[in-house]
Amino acid sequence: MNTPPRTRKDCEALDRGDALATVRQRFALPDGLIYLDGHSLGPATHAALERVAHVAAEEWRRGLIRSWNDAGWFDLPARAGAKLARLIGVADRDVIVTDSVSVNLFKLAAAALQVTGERTVMVQADEFPTDRSITAGLAAAGLGELVVLQPHERVDIRAVRPGVLIKSAVNYRTSEIAEIAAWERAAKDTGTLIVWDLSHAAGVLDLRLDKWGVKLATGCTYKFLNGGPGAPAFVYARSDMATRMSSPIRGWFGQKDQFDFSADYTPMDGAARFAAGTPPILSLSSLDAALDAFEGVDLSLVETKARLLGQLIVSRAEDMGLELISPVEAARRGGHVGIRHSDGYAVVQALIARGIIPDFRAPDAMRFGVAPLYVRFVDVWDAMDGLADVLATRAWDRPEYRVRAAVT
Amino acid sequence: MNTPPRTRKDCEALDRGDALATVRQRFALPDGLIYLDGHSLGPATHAALERVAHVAAEEWRRGLIRSWNDAGWFDLPARAGAKLARLIGVADRDVIVTDSVSVNLFKLAAAALQVTGERTVMVQADEFPTDRSITAGLAAAGLGELVVLQPHERVDIRAVRPGVLIKSAVNYRTSEIAEIAAWERAAKDTGTLIVWDLSHAAGVLDLRLDKWGVKLATGCTYKFLNGGPGAPAFVYARSDMATRMSSPIRGWFGQKDQFDFSADYTPMDGAARFAAGTPPILSLSSLDAALDAFEGVDLSLVETKARLLGQLIVSRAEDMGLELISPVEAARRGGHVGIRHSDGYAVVQALIARGIIPDFRAPDAMRFGVAPLYVRFVDVWDAMDGLADVLATRAWDRPEYRVRAAVT
């Protein structure tokens, strides 16, 4: 398992023996494309496309307002949440689909601060931008005091102080996995609550959050969970913790007796209290259907395949003399591999022009995603062939590949 | 105009002379249904259905991550915002589509409090539940001090204190319109910032927010704007006000240089700083297309027709001896008419069973919506015939019509 394939034939053999191979058929992948960007936007499944068409043309168009009851729109956030719960190793009722990661980080961190009775809200210096700015905004609003920790590669677990820490389970740039259980143990000793950002972890790692002592988390659903562009995020709050928490954003979808219009606000039980406004049903339905791609899938196989696909990238990158941003050790890496290149943006554009889609994160990270549900070993092999050729021929060295688009 | 039609023939004549009559063709209304619930969930337009299908099957499925640039997903919140701006009488750049009304009320009220330097956050006792609970939650989070004002029918404009007031432009139950310009004048005198909730006003009234001195507003887009179930809401922040405001929820979509990952947080210019997380593209695209139903539509005609349709309901209700919840005077009423009935829930169920769809708000309000873009005079006439018959025959008096669904 730790020896990556050395030829395309090896890759073909691995694909033939892959227990996940048939899962790829659940995806509506475009022909002639090698898609290694599932860590940014997962592809559509057939089920999600069908569901969106049905929700629009039948549930909305014909059912109209009646679909809140008849089509089950009302409890869709909890039903999709229960599907998600099984992918992160927690109780079904402890997950609700709602809002975005940004909004959820805010709600969870603010509510967690109140529980701890502390003011300190911590974030690492190199966290994903929204994690950093949400934390800073919380402090600027007067809800806490910001403490910026060392970057994730240097941060010491003993740096945790009493208060709240926002932390990614997998770093967006390096793909390094945090030792979740160890962090939770340290946090327990200091009276710290950690709000985990699972955006780059859920759907690709075999997460066992409950076992690892995790109490609070959020994550996005449009990466390895394939929910569709901007599909709503989720909140996990362990029930014993949730009952002690009060969302600062008390919207009507987090309220018990929502349609008793005279009632004073009583939060719903558990994680559902972190729901707020009316959920975006089209995007939410897409997610709900997309999660069925994981039906019958063993997440330990997913994690194992991601490591092996990643090792293939690592070994080919080393052959090319490229500098890795990600850990070499497979067990320390999530579902993508980061490779440093000073002209990385142009290199990625040249690959896209050839039908190979990785992505780029400023200033110099090319990211190759290896979503095990639909990426084959031959895909990665061919993509690395493409990369080798683009670099050897300097195909990336064209002015048009340097023009930055709005979204990179 | 103030004399409502007295016969179905009168209604037919009004429909023939209706300058908005052709706009109805833009909607994909189901056959055999009279839909008077556009104040709760607007129907699908052909354009929205086509757009959703295209976004799912082409932009997501085939374009994948490239669609953030190539299909213009990235600036869709601002483009849809500009369309919306024209419907509420403000500058294009001052509106952004983002999040839900609940989340936006929180962001705007928290940011407005910081601008005023005050602690008082006000809401009327009978506001829509989410407006009340968001305000209370803001106070519970320690961001302000809650002051509950008299219900909207009794509140005195002089009750406004320095601080922030959350207020609906049209009351969800009675449909009573607030005198927006007068409230803004009073607020100016006391140093109060009003955050208007336009949920029941936008798309049915000829709003001139800029002219009336409005600085801050949010509103939902799935009612009279027909954006689709749970379509994202909008934020209006007048640019001179926005530049002084800091959203407590600093998400990456509200950040300048969003993809310069090393940058410190600098908010986008204007209202766009109130965007937070990644927007739900399917739901947002539906809204963007739906707004085109207003293309070439004169909002003063929309408002006038809503009044006349409302007067028809009022006069028929008076004929039936029913008690109105809404003002009798057309100019004081928004896009729906509330009628009180102690068995209102069952009456509404009986109407729905006959293909006539109004809605119900606890404890006793039947609401009949008159969205002028697709509701005809004959529709309202026939619905009132249905109501008269349901009441005369006590057709509502069946056990199954008393069973409350999850969503009412």
Please give the pLDDT value at position A263: 75
Contacts of B265 in chain A (CB under 8 A): 129, 132-133, 136-137
Distance from CA of B57 to the nearest CA of A (A): 7
- CA–CA distance from A297 to each of A22, A200, A220, A286, A305 (Å)? 10, 19, 20, 19, 12
- DSSP characters over B105-150: HHHHHHHHHHHHT--EEEEETTS-HHHHHHHHHHHHTTS-EEEEEP
Instruction: Please judge whether A248 and B173 are an interchain contact, meaning their C-beta atoms are less than 8 angstroms apart.
Output: no
pLDDT tens digit sequence for A227-238:
999 999 999 999
Domain ranges of chain B: 8-31+298-402, 50-294
Residues A33-58 as b/e (b if ≥16 CB within 10 A, e otherwise) read: bbbbbbbbbbbbbebbbebbeebbee
What pLDDT, in 10s, does the model give residues B336-352? 999 999 999 999 999 99
**Predicted local distance difference test score (pLDDT) of residue A301:** 98
Of A44, A261, A263, the CB nearest to B56: A44
User: Active-site residue A223, yes or no?
Assistant: yes
pLDDT at B49 over 90: yes
- Chain B residue with minimum CA distance to A58: B30
How far away is chain B from the Cα of A1, in angstroms, using its nearest Cα? Answer: 31
Average of pLDDT values for B61-82?
97
pLDDT bin (cut points 50, 70, 90) of residue A403 is very high
Task: Check CB contact under 8 Å for A406 and B74.
Answer: yes
The answer on pLDDT for B153 being more than 90 is no
What average pLDDT does range A17-42 have in this prediction?
98
Q: Taking all residues of chain A, what is their mean pLDDT, rounded to a whole number?
A: 96
* Residues near A65 by beta carbon (within 8 Å), at least 6 away in sequence: B37, B40, B41, B357, B359
Pairing between β-strand A365-369 and β-strand A336-340 as defined by DSSP bridges:
antiparallel
pLDDT at A277 over 80: yes
Of B44, B65, B278, the CB nearest to A230: B278
- Residue of A27, A128, A274, A401 with catalytic role: A128
Given this model, what pLDDT does residue A2 score?
A: 58
Answer yes or no: is pLDDT of B200 > 90.
yes
B284 contact A CB<8A: yes
CATH topology of domain A8-31+298-402: Aspartate Aminotransferase, domain 1 (3.90.1150)
Task: For an interface test with A, give the residue of B261, B274, B351 to mutate (most A CBs within 10 A).
Answer: B261
Where does the pLDDT of residue B2 fall: very low under 50, low under 70, confident under 90, or very high at 90 and above?
low
Out of A100, A280, A407, name the one closest to residue B231 (CB): A280
**What's residue B261's pLDDT?**
81
Q: Which of B128, B234, B294, B345 is catalytic?
A: B128
Q: What is the pTM of this model?
A: 0.98
Question: Which of B106, B220, B352 comes nearest A249 by C-beta?
Answer: B106
Q: Tell me whether residues A102 and B277 touch, CB distance under 8 A.
A: yes
Q: CB-based contacts of A37: which residues, under 8 Å, 6+ apart?
A: A357, A358, A359, A367, A369, B64, B65
Query: Is pLDDT at A391 greater than 60 in this prediction?
Result: yes
How much is the average pLDDT of B193-222?
98
Residue A367 contacts residue A358 (beta carbons within 8 Å):
yes
Q: State the average pLDDT for chain B.
A: 96
Q: Once rounded to an integer, what is the mean pLDDT over residues A312-320?
A: 97
Average of per-residue pLDDT across B282-308:
98
Nearest chain A Cα distance for residue B51, angstroms: 10
pLDDT over 80 (residue A1): no
* Closest to B277 (Cα-Cα) out of B256, B260, B311, B254: B254
Active site residue B343: no
B224: nearest Cα among B297, B152, B142: B297
CA A278, CA A99: separation in Å to the nearest integer?
9
Q: Which of A100, A136, A142 sits opposite B278 (nearest CB)?
A: A100
Q: What is the pLDDT of residue A260?
A: 83
pLDDT of residue A294: 98
B98-127: average pLDDT: 97
pLDDT at A70 over 90: yes
Q: Tell me: the pLDDT tens digits for B155-198?
A: 888 889 999 999 999 999 999 999 999 999 999 999 999 999 99
Q: Do B67 and A406 touch (CB under 8 A)?
A: no
d(CA A189, nearest CA chain B) in Å: 26
Interchain CB contact of A405 with B (< 8 Å): yes
Round to whole Å and give the CA distance between A114 and B386.
53
Return the pLDDT at B264.
84
Catalytic residue check, B128: yes
For chain A, counts of helices (H) and of strands (E): 12, 13
Supply the pLDDT for residue A199. 98
- Indicate the CATH number of A50-294 among 3.30.70.2200, 3.40.640.10, 3.40.50.2020, 3.30.1330.10: 3.40.640.10
At B356-406, the pLDDT tens digits run 999 999 999 999 999 999 999 999 999 999 999 999 999 999 999 999 988
The answer to whether B403 faces chain A, any CB pair under 8 Å, is no
pLDDT of A343 reads 97
Active-site residue, selected from the candidate residues A197, A288, A359, A379: A197
Read off the pLDDT of each residue in A400-405 and give the average, rounded to a whole number: 93
The single residue listed with the structure tokens 């102080």 is A161
In order of A8, A312, A356, the CA distances from A4 in angstroms are 11, 5, 21
Q: Interface pTM (ipTM) of the complex?
A: 0.97
* B407 pLDDT higher than 90: no
The answer, for B191 touching chain A at a CB cutoff of 8 Å, is no
Q: Tell me whether A331 touches chain B (CB under 8 Å).
A: no
Examine the pLDDT at A330 and tell me if it is beyond 70. Answer: yes
Cβ within 8 Å, pair A263-B129: yes
Taking the Cβ of residue A28 and every Cβ of chain B, the question of whether any pair is shorter than 8 Å is answered with: yes
Region A81-93 average pLDDT: 98
pLDDT at residue B1 tops 70: no
- Asked if pLDDT for residue B17 goes beyond 60, the answer is yes
Q: What is the pLDDT of residues A365-389, one digit of tens each?
A: 999 999 999 999 999 999 999 999 9
Chain B nearest-CA distance from A123, in A, is 14
Shortest Cα–Cα distance, B201 to chain A (Å) = 18
Average pLDDT over residues B302-311: 98
Contact A140 B248 (CB under 8 A): yes
Distance CA B398, CA A138 (A): 53
| From B37, B197, B288, B379, active-site residue | B197
C-beta separation of A166 from A122 below 8 A = yes
